[in-house]
Structure 1
Amino acid sequence: MIADRISTNLHNPPHDPALPMSPPSLKTRDRLSEVRYEIRGELARRARELEARGRKQIKLNIGNPGAFGFRAPEHLQRAIADQIARTDPYTHQQGLPAAREAVARFYKERGTPNASPERVFIGNGVSELIDLSLRALLNPGDEVLLPSPDYPLWSAATILNDGRPVYYSCLPENGFLSDPEQIESLVSSRTRAIVLINPNNPTGAVYPRELLQQIVAIAAKHGLLIMADEIYDSITYDGAQFQPIAPLAGEVPCLSFGGLSKVHRACGWRVGWAVLSGDPLASGDYHHAMDLLGALRLCANVPGQFAIDAALHGEDTITPLCEPGGRLYEARRAVVEAVAASRHLTLVQPAGALYAFPGVTGPAARDFDDHKFALELLETEDVLVVPGSSFNVPYRNHFRVTLLPQPEDVREVFTRIERVLDRHAERVQGEALRAIA
């Protein structure tokens, strides 16, 4: 016993009262261990460390137009400047009446049923509204059907609101489009909603009308809420047609998300909206829950709301960027041509949004790990991309790049990517030869 006490004192010496006590470690929420957001995660932190040492990085990890020289249109800037004296007070928890009227009118013109200002919610970006909308919907253990790949905020918000993500596959061999039969096979007694991201982040897939109609039929049959992330709705290429789902949903409850961040290149303004459509009686309680949660956070950023009318009903500034000769179109062309010339890459050409999702194939795909590849690319070539598995896919041979850099920078990026893949292919082929010998 004496020996035990001596051992204990050696490992836990008595506290010197002259020294301050160390506070106990703060515990965090257990479910945070299930959340991934590599877009701004470990690799991004490593990129900042390298930058601090004087290394110049080409960052293709975030769809942030302002970081690549894009500006919000001047008529949106003027709309805020002209009203800045009116932006000091809180506004209604659902947003400025004029802003909600502008959103409702825009969606009504699209054919959205029951679009009215009372059913519009303005938020601090779509990100906040995703969190609020799931918090209003889910009880512990409820399930949400999510696309794989997804934008990882959807998975994180589902988990942190005590729900369970259930993934339906959007496979590259199917153009990254979903299979309605698989979606329906995943519906259980706990399923509450179907999420779709159209145009898709990270793949650039644009959903055809027939597929959307099939998804609506599943939601109607099983009493599910449709949650449509349509933040890239006007960013399409080569004649691809964006079809909003709310007009097809009719009386089926549907929440459609949009905002100023992408189409209008105003990410930092943090202005997003959600429009609740369908039968008002069926979604009445949900409407009240969204309103309550909006009130608890008081209101969304006020100055940016004065730009909504100008954005939705003013000059179209995104289409020229997406047509031949436009900056986004030419960056996309540079990606497509670089992949076509690569010995190691394959690509489903993005039909919309601001991203491409190349896959690694051939000898370079052997023993390929997307995270190790992204780290090597960063450490040796000063290029930051996002590993494909960060988007909740079961395979590890894809990565995401943005279409925001200048086309010549995109070509330089893929030259560097090719060097890394060349080295990996040589390593695995050399190991295979040594194993035979």
Structure 2
Amino acid sequence: MRDFQKSHKLDHVSYDVRGPVLDYADKMKLNGEKILQLNTGNPPAFGFQAPDEVIRDLVRNAVDSEGYSDSKGIFSARKAIMQYCQLKGIKGVDIDDVYTGNGVSELIVMAMQGLLDDGDEMLIPMPDYPLWTAAVSLAGARPVHYVCDEGANWYPDIDDIKSKITPNTKGIVIINPNNPTGILYPKPVLEEIAKLALEHDLIIFSDEIYDRLVMDGQEHVSIASVASPEQFVVTMSGLSKSHLIPGFRVGWMVLSGDKSHVKGYIEGLNMLASMRLCSNVLAQSVVQTSLGGIQRVDKLLQPGGRIYEQREFITEAINSIPGISAVKPNAAFYIFPKIDREMYQIDDDEQFVLDFLKQEKILLVHGRGFNWKEPDHFRIVYLPRVEELAEIHDKMERFLRQYRR
């Protein structure tokens, strides 16, 4: 009989947020061991609950959500997203420019498959959310990683971006607020990226899933709001994080700017959207309620709020460990610490997090899982309560002693 192997399209595709280390954690759980999973930002697993009005809408719309919707989504959801874009200062968005998706993940894959051919290149931040790199590779193109500078608050290095643009570059991806660093990009940085994209005729893809999870009185600015009207921008967001409902898989993609030179691409997006028929209709029914009125998550992000206080604690705790440092995040719920490898003998960051899992029963993700270049970082999801974060700190400090040079 023939030996069937995975497609060669997957040769350069990885997603270590749910990779080999998670596979080992699952085996540990089957043996009855309790694992603290900090590999994904999954709020309900840590006691966060969706707003009551969101659940109420879901229940009341169940009967009317049995059939397919328009491939781009139901009218009320797309209208609410269009109006949200207006509040964000994104101009020229019509209801036909809005696509709903089964989470942003589905739309990332769709956006890359609709655009890229073999030999094309896409600029992606380093570190990145690894689905972007995977989606580009799966589409047959080459992901080209530009540096986000840890010494400059993890902001994108504009000179590095410039140096990596070639005639094959189709677009540039930004993740703002960033995952895994938890950093919000200020307006001047976004303006520089937009200007560079305009000069080189690049499509901008902006992943803004954490745009409503911002702390310290700062305000998220969408790059589509500062881009030139001549530019074409694809903006992605959703409710998974801000409304604590990742299992509902509610995401959207918005096209803005000059569409005259991307008609073929839009035709491809429409084809791909139609091929999957539509996104989950019942989940779409909560978009209008979620984007209107007071956002309950706001209280969690202010002093005294749970996410804010956990951010404060984990930042101080991590930086108190000798040889470990981290830039303070100001959005989302991730921190991306750096290991001083002159102090600690660590050559394989994946093995490091695997050993930590085996010894302390805590699941993290290694830095190279986010396409970081060196084995000297790891990501912590700081959704557990402060008491549990304190235990994680103690375990990490104790664990690291065995690696001291």
Q: TM-score range by the shorter chain?
A: over 0.9
Corresponding position of 2:299: 320
Distance 2:350 2:388 in 1: 22
Distance 2:319 2:200 in 1: 43
Q: Structure 1 vs Structure 2: percent identity of aligned residues?
A: 37
Distance 1:223 1:340 in 2: 41
Q: Per-residue CA shift, 1:358-397, capped at 9, x if unaligned?
A: 1112654344421121011111111110001111111111
Q: Per-residue CA shift, 1:317-355, capped at 9, x if unaligned?
A: 111111111111111112112123211210111111120
Corresponding position of 2:318: 339
Counterparts of 1:296-307 in structure 2, within 5 Å, are 296-307=275-286
Tell me which of 380, 385, 388 is aligned to 1:401: 380
Corresponding position of 2:220: 242
Corresponding position of 1:421: 400
Distance 2:177 2:313 in 1: 20
SS of the residue aligned with 1:158? helix
The amino acid of 2:242's aligned partner reads V
Corresponding position of 1:376: 355
Q: Per-residue CA shift, 1:18-49, capped at 9, x if unaligned?
A: xxxxx422122113121121111111111111
Distance 1:139 1:373 in 2: 37
SS of the residue aligned with 1:365? coil
Check if 1:157 corresponds to 2:166.
no
Distance 1:391 1:109 in 2: 32
Distance 1:279 1:42 in 2: 43
| CA deviation after TM superposition for structure 1 residue 286, in Å | 2.1
* Higher deviation after alignment, 85-94 or 52-61: 52-61
Corresponding position of 1:226: 204
Tell me which of 263, 278, 281 is aligned to 1:284: 263
| CA deviation after TM superposition for structure 1 residue 131, in Å | 0.4
Counterparts of 1:178-217 in structure 2, within 5 Å, are 178-217=156-195
Of the two, which has the highest radius of gyration?
1
Structure 2 length normalisation: TM-score? 0.97
The amino acid of 1:43's aligned partner reads V
| CA deviation after TM superposition for structure 1 residue 165, in Å | 0.3
SS of the residue aligned with 2:205? strand
Q: Per-residue CA shift, 1:399-424, capped at 9, x if unaligned?
A: 00112111111111111111111111
Are the counterparts in 2 of residues 344 and 418 from structure 1 also a CA contact under 8 Å?
Answer: no
Distance 1:168 1:174 in 2: 14
Distance 2:184 2:145 in 1: 19
Gaps of 5+ in 1: 1-22, 430-437
Tell me which of 245, 258, 270 is aligned to 1:266: 245
Q: Per-residue CA shift, 1:97-133, capped at 9, x if unaligned?
A: 1111110011012211111111000011000000001
The amino acid of 1:30's aligned partner reads H
The amino acid of 2:299's aligned partner reads P
Corresponding position of 1:57: 35
- Count how many residue pairs are aligned between Structure 1 and Structure 2: 404
Distance 1:404 1:228 in 2: 25
Distance 1:391 1:181 in 2: 21
Are the counterparts in 1 of residues 97 and 255 from structure 2 also a CA contact under 8 Å?
Answer: yes
Distance 1:52 1:109 in 2: 48
Let me know the Cα RMSD of the aligned residues: 1.2
Corresponding position of 1:126: 104
Corresponding position of 2:75: 97
Corresponding position of 1:166: 144
SS of the residue aligned with 2:125? strand
Structure 1 length normalisation: TM-score? 0.90
Distance 1:316 1:369 in 2: 42
Distance 1:307 1:110 in 2: 20
Gaps of 5+ in 2: none
Are the counterparts in 2 of residues 377 and 420 from structure 1 also a CA contact under 8 Å?
Answer: yes
Corresponding position of 1:358: 337
Distance 2:342 2:142 in 1: 37
Are the counterparts in 2 of residues 125 and 259 from structure 1 also a CA contact under 8 Å?
Answer: yes
Distance 1:134 1:29 in 2: 18
SS of the residue aligned with 1:166? strand
| CA deviation after TM superposition for structure 1 residue 280, in Å | 2.9
Tell me which of 3, 6, 9 is aligned to 1:31: 9
Are the counterparts in 2 of residues 199 and 233 from structure 1 also a CA contact under 8 Å?
Answer: yes
Q: CA, structure 1 residues 362+394, in 2 after alignment: closer, same or farther (shift >3 Å)?
A: closer
Distance 2:278 2:300 in 1: 33
Distance 2:130 2:307 in 1: 24
Distance 2:262 2:294 in 1: 34
The amino acid of 1:53's aligned partner reads N
Distance 2:389 2:77 in 1: 37
Distance 1:112 1:279 in 2: 12
Are the counterparts in 2 of residues 99 and 305 from structure 1 also a CA contact under 8 Å?
Answer: yes
Distance 1:326 1:66 in 2: 17
* Higher deviation after alignment, 122-131 or 322-331: 322-331
Which one has a larger percent helix, Structure 1 or Structure 2?
1
| CA deviation after TM superposition for structure 1 residue 247, in Å | 0.9
The amino acid of 1:290's aligned partner reads L
Are the counterparts in 2 of residues 386 and 399 from structure 1 also a CA contact under 8 Å?
Answer: yes
Distance 1:69 1:370 in 2: 30
